[in-house]
Amino acid sequence: MLVHNSDIAEIFSEIADMLEIQDANPFRVRAYRNAARLLQSYAPNLQTMLQQGQPVPHLPGIGTDLMGKIREIADHGTCALRDQLRRELPPGLRQLLAVPGIGPRRAKLLHEVLGVDSLEQLADACREGTVAGLRGMGTRGQQRILQAVEDRLSKSRRFGIALATELADTLVRHLRASDAQAKVEVAGSFRRGRETVGDLDLVASSSRPTALIAAFAAFDGVGQVLAKGSTRASVVLRQGIQVDLRVVAPVSFGAALHYFTGSREHNIALRGLARRNGLKINEYGVFSAEERIAGETEASVFKAVGLPWIAPELRENRGEIEAAQQEQLPDLVQLSDLKGDLHVHTRSSDGRNSLREMALAAQQRGLDYIAITDHSSSLAVAGGLDADGLARQIDDIDALNAELHGIVLLKGIEAEIRVDGSFDLPDDLLRRLDLVVGAVHSKMDLPSERQTARILKAMDHPCFTLLAHPSGRLLGEREPYALDMNRVIRHARERGCFLEVNSQPSRLDLNDQYCMQARREGVMVAIDSDAHSVLDFDNLRFGIAQARRGWTGPDNVLNARSLTALRKLLLKARG
């Protein structure tokens, strides 16, 4: 049976929850939780590596005991510890734990005090108002939980891009390896690089469509087959995400890929353009009268209506067709354009690897430089650096730079922006750094006027370089702060500082719209991993997709510059 890394992560996180409900040793709980978080964002499939006898890279925080559990899960799809814990706990508790905002303690309380055993019962209890009376809950908490339960139960649920990527990758690999000799691509919002997807849309061509559809339905990760015909099929994977597959003849592959990539709005606009040229476009091709004049490749479809190929990330009918007509499509940034990463953590705050490990991992990925930006001390939960700690880190970086070749460490800090817009480190220390990444992690609920003033004030500090995750949103968990982002972007232009596109799949912040605006205003962005372990550099691809959706070109990306050019820009930004 196929086991995704996210399956292992889910089992570990369930074990952590169940151990916590049983009041187990907190260190043990944390070990499982950290391992789950790590595996959630680790792309290469561990089961495949283990089965093929490939060496498994060192995974931070995963010792022999956890590695043994990973092997057990890769072999059997489950592990004895989880099964045992499940037997020891009431069955309904697990469903409750899946609701954002319900941790082990609350689940226990809901079960023991209110007898709640399922999501439906929890929704009812919220509607009846009994949840509000529980310790630490209140009517606002009750409202939030009801909303989360309704989201969870609703069909319009959307899935994060990290999970979607892992599932799509394994499914496509499975189909390409089947004996149907298929050409397979993922289309839909996934191909357009959206931050979440409603479902996955696969387009394929094969001389043996029936064999391909059979292979699709037989995929190990399938939980339920919804429909299965001769040219199309739909399934729901075990993680709850639906996948639609369409199989067309090779002469129609490009047309189908274009049609199912969408967006709907882009398709409608393109069909209108074709009609004005006396042509018809559908998922089988471009037709003049009854004759197919294009369709085998996507480029042929665009060419038939007089356009160059348009990158999928632009296909939202936000001006891309007009730009294509005028030969003014933007040159879009690619992963290989990135020369460095300006937001990286180490064990000195809440990262899981050392300076050296982060440097070597970045070098392995072809980066020329990274900025070390651990948290500052007022973010106590992250074990932030105080002035002495930062001074020591500056020395450590100097020493390591003297030793390493082919990768340069820049000195930075992810500095807490306090409510009054000041920083929690002395100016003379900030001046010794190459860059200061300012971030808001506290008082996220200020009214817009005050939150905006706070951030503008921080930007005015002469050492301020870059605003981290500017809107503060966490996808599916936390709304952006109330903030006048237009003013922030304009202020960045006037002040000559920069904004971040944070690549963590739960953030993707700036979002695509604000990337577009930054580009219009001529404000450069830094596409950063915000890495907390060596594995997180993999997330840069998600930030790149978001930036591409915002029409961002390499010229507008700070860390697409060479180290020499970057240093000049950093000095210039120092007000």
The contact set with ligand DGT (CB under 6 A) reads 188-189, 194, 197-199, 201, 259-260, 262-264, 267-268
Please state the closest distance from residue 261 (CB atom) to Ca ion, in A: 10
Please state the closest distance from residue 242 (CB atom) to ligand DGT, in A: 9
State the binding partner of 264 from Ca ion, ligand DGT, none, CB within 5 to 8 A by kind. Answer: ligand DGT
Six token digits for residue 259: 């049609």
Q: Which amino acid is at 231?
A: T
Give the nearer residue to ligand DGT in terms of CB position, either 226 or 268.
Answer: 268
State the binding partner of 568 from ligand DGT, Ca ion, none, CB within 5 to 8 A by kind. Answer: none
Determine the Cα–Cα distance for residues 298 and 295; give it in Å rounded to an integer. 7
Please state the closest distance from residue 245 (CB atom) to ligand DGT, in A: 12
Q: Which stretch binds Ca ion (CB under 5 A): 14-22, 68-76, 177-185, 244-252?
A: 244-252
* Cβ neighbour number for residue 141 with a 10 Å cutoff: 16
Please state the closest distance from residue 239 (CB atom) to ligand DGT, in A: 15
Give the nearer residue to ligand DGT in terms of CB position, either 260 or 542.
Answer: 260
Determine the Cα–Cα distance for residues 294 and 233; give it in Å rounded to an integer. 26
State the binding partner of 263 from ligand DGT, Ca ion, none, CB within 5 to 8 A by kind. Answer: ligand DGT
Question: What is the β-pairing status of strands 285-288 and 291-294?
Answer: antiparallel
Any idea how long the chain is? 575
Six token digits for residue 492: 């960045």
Please state the closest distance from residue 550 (CB atom) to ligand DGT, in A: 18
Q: Is the peptide bond before 510 cis (omega within 30 degrees of 0)?
A: yes
Does residue 244 belong to the site contacting Ca ion (CB under 5 A)? yes
Contact 192, 316 (CB under 8 A): yes
Give the nearer residue to Ca ion in terms of CB position, either 244 or 536.
Answer: 244
Residue from 117, 199, 368, 424 touching Ca ion (CB under 5 A): that is 199
State the binding partner of 550 from Ca ion, ligand DGT, none, CB within 5 to 8 A by kind. Answer: none
CB neighbour burial string for 210-231, b if at least 16 within 10 angstroms, e if fewer: eebbebbbebebbeeeeeeeee
* Cβ neighbour number for residue 491 with a 10 Å cutoff: 19
* Cβ neighbour number for residue 23 with a 10 Å cutoff: 11
Determine the Cα–Cα distance for residues 503 and 262; give it in Å rounded to an integer. 24
State the binding partner of 6 from Ca ion, ligand DGT, none, CB within 5 to 8 A by kind. Answer: none
Q: Which stretch binds Ca ion (CB under 5 A): 186-194, 299-307, 361-369, 546-554?
A: 186-194
Please state the closest distance from residue 323 (CB atom) to ligand DGT, in A: 20
Query: Among 425, 422, 330, which Cα is nearest to 375's?
Result: 425
Return the H-helix or E-strand segment holding 403. helix 387-403
Contact 515, 556 (CB under 8 A): no
Give the nearer residue to ligand DGT in terms of CB position, either 259 or 464.
Answer: 259
- Chain residue whose CB lies nearest ligand DGT: 262
SS3 159: strand
Residue from 188, 221, 254, 285 touching Ca ion (CB under 5 A): that is 188
Contact 375, 412 (CB under 8 A): no
* Cβ neighbour number for residue 394 with a 10 Å cutoff: 16
State the binding partner of 260 from ligand DGT, Ca ion, none, CB within 5 to 8 A by kind. Answer: ligand DGT
Residue from 201, 416, 500, 512 touching Ca ion (CB under 5 A): that is 201
Q: Which residues pair with 282 in a beta bridge?
A: 285
Please state the closest distance from residue 264 (CB atom) to ligand DGT, in A: 4
Q: Give the CA distances from residue 186 to residues 162, 334, 544, in Å, rounded to whole numbers and listed in that order.
A: 15, 19, 18
Please state the closest distance from residue 151 (CB atom) to ligand DGT, in A: 15
Please state the closest distance from residue 168 (CB atom) to ligand DGT, in A: 12
Please give the residue ranges that form the binding site for Ca ion (CB under 5 A): 188-189, 199, 201, 244
